[in-house]
């Protein structure tokens, strides 16, 4: 399998590293931090705060949002997180809300 994949990638042999090990790791970490998706939950509220549950988790990217339902395993792609909420309203008594995960320091 590796040889098959190698046909699609330029051989890096003979090319010097662009940075030292620590600098390269920091550069990669900065890239991850800058491009990480924002995480949110779609929660369902039963009645007026009678009960609640997490119905789905989502990741917001620059070009759209992916949402993963917990009970059905359904995946949806929408333009923004707010558009995902209406998929999780159910009848009169179950209303969905969006809650963004707060970054931990």
Task: Kindly report the pTM of this predicted structure.
Answer: 0.80
**Whole-angstrom Cα distance, residue 100 to residue 105?**
15
The proportion of the chain whose per-residue pLDDT surpasses 90, expressed as a percent, equals: 88
In terms of DSSP H, where are the helices of the chain?
2-6, 21-35, 81-85
- For residue 59, the model assigns a pLDDT of 98
Give the list of residues 6+ apart from residue 40 with CB closer than 8 angstroms, or none.
57, 58, 59, 60, 81, 98, 99, 100, 101
Name the residue ranges covered by the structural domains of the chain.
Answer: 2-100
Tens-digit pLDDT profile for residues 64-104? 999 999 998 899 999 999 999 999 999 999 999 999 999 87
Residue 55 has pLDDT above 80, yes or no: yes
């Amino acid at each position: 399998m590796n040889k098959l994949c190698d046909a699609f990638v330029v051989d890096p042999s003979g090319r010097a590293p662009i940075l030292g090990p620590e600098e390269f790791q920091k550069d990669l970490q900065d890239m991850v931090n800058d491009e990480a998706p924002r995480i949110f939950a779609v929660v369902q509220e039963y009645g007026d705060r009678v009960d609640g549950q997490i119905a789905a988790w989502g990741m917001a990217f620059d070009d759209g949002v992916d949402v993963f339902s917990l009970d059905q395993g359904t995946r949806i792609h929408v333009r923004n997180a707010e558009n995902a909420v209406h998929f999780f309203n159910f009848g009169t008594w179950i209303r969905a809300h969006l809650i963004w995960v707060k970054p931990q320091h």
